[in-house]
Structure 1
Amino acid sequence: MSSSSKMIVLRSSDGETFELEETAALQSETIKHMIEDGCAGSAIPTPNITGKILSKVVEYLNKHVETPKGATNVTAEDLKAFDAKLVDVEQADLFAIILAANYLNIKALLKLACQTVADMARGKTVQQIRDHFNIKNDLTPEEEEKIRFENAWAFDHEPPQDKQTQDEQTQDEQTQDEQTQDEQTQDEQA
């Protein structure tokens, strides 16, 4: 950090302070508006963000700040590796990063953290997701079945069918089987 850059101080909910260059801080729309409105006096409070999480956010902002011309740029591969390491944290911390990114309106960090959660859920069954994220199922089996039916497009399999539809489908299949057998018998006799 160059000494000629304006510095911004952020204060966490537990009283820790973090200093970063204004150019890095401006990636946060919330901080940007506070600076523009003249509300960035001595330290900008972040009442919803602990020091542990704010340190991660500041680290992200510093790494992702656009470098001045002539400075060595961080490669896309370096950023990708940095991002992966940043969000490789305990689940509670990852959710806290999401909340912090949302509160500070840091779109790229919010997208990164949310994508990480989505990747955790990808390919898992509903029950596996509930177990992984410790989510309690508060739906009755009837409510769950109704939701599955209404949102069948979101599942890999056909929508659940009511008993009458299943019975009709079974009868149709039996009729088709009988017709096929009759045709085969006629072909054999001819």
Structure 2
Amino acid sequence: MPVIKLQSSDGEIFETDIETAKCSSTIKTLLEDCPVEAESDTLIPLPNVNSTILKKILIWAKHHREDDAEENEEEADKSVAMQITPWDAEFLTMDQGTLFELILAANYLDIPNLLNAACMTVANMIKGRTAEEIRQTFHITNDFSPSEEDLQTVEAEVPQEDEATVYGDI
């Protein structure tokens, strides 16, 4: 199977088979536009992806290489109902900084299933938490003044009018 070389932003070179690299729509399009000869030492620079993240992406891509590409794109479009597989959940267990870098790289390389799974992981970190818990999880400083916080509390307590009361029972 033909091999290509991917160069990370910090200069490290990774060799991988073309089918694994094609998990990235960006690389797949590049290879279609500029066909690779079997004996070629094709080097694709990836200036927005460092070696740590590229290594993780290649691990993920090798695991998902056999996935049907068309089916994956359809699944990625249905991200509302998407479930993270146990393998992906384990793979995406990493520190927040690395996870966010992985999200940026998956977006840059156009790998929708990895992007969706990583974003779902972040969404699960937020789901069901209070604003203060979210701030603690993501190390966000509270920039609301006490009066702004009181206003937020009052707005949260005001019940929303039900459509039936606004428009009557039609």
The one of 29, 33, 45 aligned to 1:37 = 33
Could you tell me how far 1:146 is from its partner in structure 2?
6.2
- Higher RCO by CA contacts (8 Å cutoff, separation 6 or greater): 2
Structure 2 residue aligned with 1:166: none
Q: Which amino acid aligns with 2:126?
A: A
1:14-163 to 2 correspondences below 5 Å: 14-38=10-34, 42-66=42-66, 80-140=85-145, 145=151, 149=155, 158-159=157-158
CA distance in 1, matches of 2:33, 2:95: 36
Q: Which amino acid aligns with 1:49?
A: V
Largest Rg, 1 or 2: 1
- Residue-by-residue CA offset, 1:5-64 (whole Å, 9 max, x unaligned): 121211111111112221121121111121122187721111111111110000001110
Could you tell me how far 1:143 is from its partner in structure 2?
5.6
Q: TM-score if structure 1 supplies the norm length?
A: 0.64
SS of 1:138's equivalent?
coil
CA distance in 2, matches of 1:42, 1:32: 13
Gaps of 5+ in 2: 69-83, 161-170
CA distance in 1, matches of 2:67, 2:134: 40
Q: TM-score if structure 2 supplies the norm length?
A: 0.71
C-alpha root-mean-square deviation of aligned residues, in Å?
Answer: 2.8
Q: Which amino acid aligns with 1:110?
A: L
Q: Is the 8 A contact 1:53 1:97 kept in 2?
A: yes
Q: Which amino acid aligns with 1:20?
A: T
CA distance in 1, matches of 2:24, 2:154: 39
Report runs of 4+ in structure 1 exceeding 2 Å deviation.
Answer: 39-42, 79-82, 136-149, 158-161
Structure 2 residue aligned with 1:184: none
Q: Which amino acid aligns with 2:131?
A: V
Distance change in 2, residues 1:147/1:45 (3 Å): farther
CA distance in 2, matches of 1:6, 1:148: 63
Q: Is the 8 A contact 1:20 1:62 kept in 2?
A: no
How many pairs align? Answer: 140
Q: Which amino acid aligns with 1:36?
A: E
Q: Which amino acid aligns with 1:92?
A: G
Distance change in 2, residues 1:37/1:11 (3 Å): same
Gaps of 5+ in 1: 69-78, 153-157, 162-190
